[in-house]
Amino acid sequence: MIVVLTPHPSTSDVRYVERRVRELGYKPHTIRGAVRTIVAAVGDETKRQTLEVLATLPMVEKVIPIQKRYRLVSREVEPQTYRVRVGSVVMGGPAFHVIAGPCSVESERQILSTARAVRAAGATLLRGGAFKPRTSPYDFQGLGGAGLRILRRVKEETGLPIVSEAVNEKDLDSLIEVADVIQIGARNAMNYSLLEAAARTGRPVILKRGMAQTIEEWLLSAEYLAKNGNHQVILCERGIRTFERATRNTLDLSAVVLAKLESNLPVIVDPSHAAGRHDLVAALSNAAVAAGADGLMIEVHEHPEQAASDGSQQLTHEAFRRLMQGLQPFLRAAGRTKPPAPRRVLHRGKTRR
Ligand code: PEP
Ligand code: MN
């Protein structure tokens, strides 16, 4: 941290600040100018009390942090991109993975039909919410346990690993009996007790960016997972709230580039929730590849007009197939490889085709 003193500080003021810096466990290095004096405090801020308290002193103008507040997920600390493994699926390597499926689990017939369609088109993971965090309490809240039982049967039938959202801690145990990847949604991106509980399951986590989260706050949410022993984390940019009303959210592709530069985690893009409309999803997917994303999460429904949630942004099976085809030249240009079809995941460490 850099402690900036008010102009023309007295020698005793400077000595006092240096003493307080030492008391807080840091080593002070003072640079005195004609008008300005700064005290650079050297020491690991994640292991000591913060120096921000010094800003309350009358002779201190401001305290400027230098060190990043996230460490474990920072490329500065660990330059290699972590690979997140879900059975035979490896995210964060050269292969580009597409997670697809409906917003909500509605019936076994619906999930099975969409699972087969997205798998045939090249998706390697199936998404579907059994627990739905809805803005209105009158909207469909998900099938809950019945939805999980459907996902389990469809996983057995198709071999696709399952991505499904956790909305609270109490349902985590039943969720991880089925879900290979826990999704933490935008609304819960700053629910730190849920993040800690999700981390403790040891299961890979897709961490959506909160709709009003800065990139730093998003990476600090990821740091909660890593600090609690789970580095199997995939960041997911899903659009942020802006003044624009033509789209549901605003897809922040610069956040994808920055998250890749700043963090050592794989980053994927969810263009469905970003756009909120199906006709933008394919172009935004192409753009995500160009921005360096490691994968996509796309909502697909056999009959979007009958969907229990997010109908306007879901792609038909045919539109998804076309999207996957259209993506290929972008993937080639970006040097991304096509992943093999997934092998079935068994949680006791065994896999079968
Ligand atoms: C979802 O994936 O269906 C969802 C609710 O997403 P988000 O948390 O990004 O709104
Ligand atoms: Mn949705």
pLDDT tens digits for range 269-303: 999 999 999 999 999 999 999 999 999 999 999 99
Q: Where along the chain do its domains lie?
A: 2-64, 84-346
In the reported structure, the alpha carbon of residue 70 is separated from the centroid of ligand 1 by a whole-number distance in angstroms of: 25
DSSP state of 69: S
Q: Is the pLDDT of residue 29 over 50?
A: yes
CATH for 2-64 (3.30.70.1140, 3.40.50.300, 1.20.120.640, 3.30.43.10): 3.30.70.1140
pLDDT at 349: 46
Which atom of ligand 1 is least distant from the CA of 103? 3
Residue nearest to atom 1 of ligand 1 (CA): 103
Buried b (16+ CB within 10 A) or exposed e, 82-119: bebebbbbbbbbebbbbbbbbbbbbebebbbbbbbbbb
For residue 32, pLDDT beyond 90: yes
Residue 277 near residue 264 (C-beta atoms within 8 A) = no
The predicted pLDDT at position 340 comes to 86
d(CA 267, CA 294): 6
Fold for domain 84-346? TIM Barrel (3.20.20)
- C-alpha to C-alpha distance for 32 and 127, rounded to whole angstroms: 59
**Cα 323 to middle of ligand 1, angstroms:** 20
pTM of the model: 0.93
